[in-house]
Amino acid sequence: MKIETLVRSIPDYPKRGVIFRDITTLLQDPQGFRYTVDQLVAPFAGSQIDCVAGIEARGFILGGAVAHQLSVGFVAIRKKGKLPWQTISEEYQLEYGSDEVEIHTDSLIAGQNVLILDDLIATGGTACAAVALVRKTGAHVVGASFVIDLPDLGGRKKLSEMDVPVRTLIEFAGD
């Protein structure tokens, strides 16, 4: 199945010159959604994965489905201030300024094997922060999986430099 045909490309969103890769059209397609989840699960079926950590927001949808298929728990990695309990956080740099991601302090246990999941890897800022956040808990990141890679933006390379195996299903040139 060519899932790239199910991804909507929106020019000049959220700003001029950017092409936004929208997976909501992929999620709407029953066969495309199923195929995508199956492809994200396949390399890890039978592995020693204890938990899937999904990055806000589309990583929640995909991560929940992958965690279900792997019969493991799910942890939400959220933007600062969105979680109601005690949290630990990791700051990361944006083009202009910084942002933070958080998890609950009791989300992960040292030694657990965690798969990080999101819809897209671009510059890698959020994904690298997610890796650092999971590692702060003493858990081990076994990999990071994404539906889409934008290789020209270098995020995959940054994760590889952090010794994180990266799996992506499709890629689009440019940003």
Catalytic residue among 8, 21, 34, 95: 95
Residues 6+ apart with CB under 8 A from 91: 98, 99, 100, 129
How deeply is 71 buried, as exposed, middle or buried, from its count of CB atoms within 10 A (0-12, 13-18, 19+)? Answer: exposed
Q: Has 58 been annotated as catalytic? A: yes
Catalytic residue among 21, 58, 156, 167: 58
Residues 6+ apart with CB under 8 A from 49: 70, 72, 113, 114, 115, 142
Q: Which residues are catalytic?
A: 58, 95
